[in-house]
Amino acid sequence: MKKVFIAISILVLFTSSMALPSQRYDDGFIVRFTHCLPSSIMLKIPNENGDISISRQIIGWDNKYRCRYSEKSTQNGKTEAFSCNFVREQINELVSAMKSDPNGDSTAQSSWDMYKNNPNVCTLSQ
């Protein structure tokens, strides 16, 4: 049974890493993020200033009940990376914003930016 679970987990991680959703925040990502399920997701978003490549990794819960998450985005050769530790309340707020704004045009982007710029939650690197 344990081997079946491991095989299914590997398949889910592999297929989620190959997904290229058209929305910045698709339903699959929102569900995985809501439950802090370990996964890796890569997507490419067309933009008038050049495509944006985004690599997301939900690492899972740490021993302090925080969801560990990291993201790296690249556009026109410039890369931004950040790592965060979210508590349940922060996850709920981000999930609500992503559901109301799946393309990340305003509400969702503002919510993510608020946490990315909070050194108590996220660490930025260039």
Instruction: Give the pLDDT score at 20.
Output: 38
* pLDDT per position as a tens digit, 10-59: 444 444 444 434 578 889 999 999 999 999 999 998 888 889 999 999 99
Listed residue (91, 82, 92) closest to 122, CA to CA: 82
7 pLDDT band (50/70/90 cuts)? very low
Instruction: Give the pLDDT score at 126.
Output: 65
Can you give the residue ranges of every domain in the chain? 2-125
Least confident of 14-18, 73-77, 107-111: 14-18
Cα 35 to Cα 26: distance, rounded to the nearest angstrom: 15
